[in-house]
Amino acid sequence: MTEPRYDVIAIGNAVVDVIASCEDELIDELDLNRGGMTLIDEARAKELYDAMPPAREVSGGSAANTLAGLSTLGLQCAFIGQVADDQLGEVFRHDMRATGIDFDTPAREGEPATGRVMIFVTPDGERTMNTFLGAGQFLPAEALDEELIASGGILYLEGYLWDPEEPRKAMRRAIEVARSAGRKIAFTASESFVIDRHGDDFRAMIDDGVIDILFVNEHELATLTGEEDFDKGVAMVAPKVPVLVATRSERGAIAVANGTRAEVAAEPIDKVVDTTGAGDQFAAGFLSGHARGEDLQACLKRGAIAAAEVISHYGPRPEVDMKALMAQKLS
């Protein structure tokens, strides 16, 4: 097996995050799913945009956010995702490349537009996300660069993108290519509603040994297993995947690999400003250690540090020198 050119290659939604602070009353007024992620159409996206207070617009998407974190930590990354041939598509492409991530998937002509996520952040830092996938849900298998996929040490897949049919087929093909090349498959479940819709697929992949590293939060784990007790849920899944990582918000996270379990507490911060991207950056921190061969405890610590940094400010991507922060916190 040849040495990988990239540490991590990710396939995910190519979207622009529109983030605004709001009061709790607006969540109720707009009938939003507080603290969750809801798929919306373009008309609803316009309605919510018009109702938002002043907002920031930054390139986002779960897997893309994780790559941004990995890139700032010094890993070589590439992204596969679909944007439209429009202004937001160019913004997304520029932001990815400016972060040091290779992104060469051709833009899609015509409608729909590049995807966007309307994120409402309440005073407690909780984020309520409303996602218009746009062009991202039309990523075809033909758009995959199979040589690129085979050149990545880890193929990281975003559960959100499993929902639309076309990119789901593309991701299945990418898994075949990566496994044929002897690469690892990392999968993030993304959200409980995705598991509600595609849990049979995910459970089959777990049972068949397709997934090497599985990222879930405690709610997703409960949805996946049907078991509300966290430790019982872990016990059901951990024997079936080489590495299971389960996050628990302020209660930290655990990881299990080949029967060995490690735990980490959440990193203390002065104030939770915005939880957008917390899981994405936890995955970035964890994978930055895993790709370097570090033990479970060290990988979890890296994840906790990265998650704490991102929830201390608005936006889903790091805003400090993450290499320096890791060196300080891990010394």
How many domains are there within the chain? 1
The C-alpha atoms of residue 186 and residue 253 are separated, in whole angstroms, by 17
Question: Does 41 reside within a domain?
Answer: no
Question: Does 236 reside within a domain?
Answer: yes
The C-alpha atoms of residue 164 and residue 99 are separated, in whole angstroms, by 27
Tell me phi and psi for residue 180, to 5 degrees: -65, -30
Q: Is 39 helix (H, G, I), strand (E, B) or coil?
A: strand
Question: Does 96 reside within a domain?
Answer: yes
CATH code of the domain containing 69 = 3.40.1190.20
| pLDDT range class, residue 155, cuts 50, 70, 90 | very high
User: What residue type is 70 in one-letter code?
Assistant: L
Question: Does 52 reside within a domain?
Answer: no
* Average pLDDT estimate for 4-11: 97
Place of tokens 């598509």: 89
Mean residue pLDDT of the chain comes to 94
pLDDT in tens, 105-134: 999 998 899 999 899 999 998 889 998 989
The C-alpha atoms of residue 113 and residue 115 are separated, in whole angstroms, by 6
Neighbouring C-alpha atoms within 13 Å toward the C-beta of 201: 15
Question: Does 72 reside within a domain?
Answer: yes
Question: Does 37 reside within a domain?
Answer: no
| Strand order through the sheet with 253-257 | 102-103, 77-80, 6-11, 152-158, 184-188, 213-217, 243-247, 253-257, 260-264
| pLDDT range class, residue 297, cuts 50, 70, 90 | very high
Question: Does 32 reside within a domain?
Answer: no
pLDDT in tens, 205-227: 999 999 999 999 999 999 999 99
- Residue-range definition of the domain harbouring residue 251: 6-14+60-114+135-330
Strands in the chain per DSSP E: 6-11, 15-21, 37-39, 56-60, 77-80, 102-103, 114-121, 127-134, 152-158, 184-188, 213-217, 243-247, 253-257, 260-264
The structure's pTM equals 0.90
* Average pLDDT estimate for 27-51: 92
User: What residue type is 280 in one-letter code?
Assistant: D
Question: Does 39 reside within a domain?
Answer: no
